[in-house]
Amino acid sequence: MEQIQKSPLPVAIIGGGPVGLAAAAQLVKKGEKFLLFQAGNTIGSSMLEWGHVRMFSPWQYNIDKAAKALLQESGWTTPVEDYLPTGRELVEEYLLPLSNLPGIKEHILTNAKVIGVAKKGLDKLKTEHRDNVPFQLYVEMNGDTKVFEAKAVIDSSGTWNNPNPMLSNGIWTKTERTLKDRIYYGIPNVQELEERYKNKTVMVIGSGHSAINALLDLVELKEKYQDTVIHWVLRKKHVREAYGGQENDGLHARGELGTRIHKMVDSEQISVVTPFYINGVRDANGKISVTGDLNGEETTIGEIDQIVVSTGFRPDTSYLNEIRLNLDSAVESVDALAPLIDPNIHSCGTVRPHGEEELRQPEKNFYIVGIKSYGRAPTFLLSTGYEQVRSVVAYP
């Protein structure tokens, strides 16, 4: 990370998840000042929303090396390396202890939502002296907007709070937004939301592991409440494409998900609709009706009570309108990173290591890291984010 000459200003970190805190640990190691802005009321607040879900990767791949060193100096006990933590365990046993360390705790601001980033006194169009003036971050805190200056910005805000819609073409409609009380985006905690889903007709949209987790939890609910009906809507030519490697998967826990959902489909506990391209949704006398193309024919699935949309997430760059960004037109990742992570070509296991050079933006000393750096690509691993921030902080 290039230095603004003799600048007393801190580095600003946006986002208090694993990658944001890894950036903080790396900056502590380097002796750099920083401020971390966390929109939620606690560190890892987005992870806690899927805290009931067990991760595919064990502890040894989920802990940043610089963070681990700082924690061990405080007497922290390293979790069992081959144990697969849940999202909540990752927050409670790793992120919260890390955030409470001296040298980190006093530099974290929670309930601090960044709503704008710019160069001081300059809009995006102005070039003269641009590299030599600080960044300004406009932050909503306690009902007020405060302005903070920084010599560099590391945006690790993630994508969790910006889900994709249910329509196959990626467009949000007013109708979908008006049904938000009956639509859950992401991975619902079905056990906690039992009253919402029991004995209801539920449609799950998506073919990834988030959708599969939701489906498996709904099948467990169906065992207790047999009038629960589950529809699984995908765009794949055949449902078997969603099963993944199963017993041959390089990550055992991920392969096991595929094996389990395969059995649920074969036992007809889930009704599969594929390939189904959704083009409309509407309220129909208190129920939800979904229309789309099924094998070339316009088809409607009606009488739906609840929908779970697990179609992935997309980066929010709306508050970066005055920052000069270079993003790939399709993936919406950093432009240089796109060919390395394009999900049409790569899985998470085939993405080669990358760092500061690939993450570099036209705006000097501004970086997007973590899952947000991958744009719409779902192939991100935590260990990748840790290497990203290590490289960014170490440069040059």
- 3-class secondary-structure state, position 164: coil
Take residue 342 and report the two structure tokens written for it.
Answer: 């394009």
Which architecture does CATH list for 174-309?
3-Layer(bba) Sandwich (3.50)
Is residue 291 predicted with pLDDT exceeding 80?
Answer: yes
Residues of the chain with CATH 3.50.50.60: 11-161+313-394, 174-309
pLDDT tens profile 113-126: 999 999 999 999 99
Q: How far apart are CA 189 and CA 187, in angstroms?
A: 7
pLDDT score for 251: 66
> What is the 3 state secondary structure string of 88-121?
HHHHHHHHHHHHCCCCCHHHEECCCEEEEEEECC
> For residue 163, what is the DSSP state?
B
pLDDT tens profile 210-266: 999 999 999 999 999 999 999 999 999 999 888 887 666 666 677 788 889 999 999
pLDDT score for 344: 81
Q: How confident is the model at residue 346 (pLDDT cuts 50, 70, 90)?
A: low
DSSP 38-54: -SSSSTTHHHHTTTTSB
Tell me the backbone φ, ψ of residue 352, rounded to 5 degrees: -80, 160
pLDDT score for 254: 78
pLDDT score for 243: 84
Sequence-distant (6+) residues with CB within 8 A of 181 are none
Distances (CA, A) of 151 to 230, 271, 307: 51, 54, 44
pLDDT tens profile 350-385: 667 788 999 999 999 999 999 999 999 988 989 999
**pTM for the whole thing?**
0.93
Is residue 310 predicted with pLDDT exceeding 80?
Answer: yes
Which whole number is the average pLDDT over 103-115?
A: 98
Is residue 186 predicted with pLDDT exceeding 70?
Answer: yes
Mean pLDDT of the chain: 93
pLDDT score for 3: 44
pLDDT tens profile 126-144: 999 999 999 999 999 999 9
Q: How far apart are CA 365 and CA 119, in angstroms?
A: 11
Give the fold, CATH level 3, of 11-161+313-394: FAD/NAD(P)-binding domain (3.50.50)
pLDDT tens profile 146-165: 999 999 999 999 999 999 99
pLDDT score for 347: 63
Q: How far apart are CA 277 and CA 241, in angstroms?
A: 16
pLDDT score for 389: 97
Q: How far apart are CA 120 and CA 312, in angstroms?
A: 35
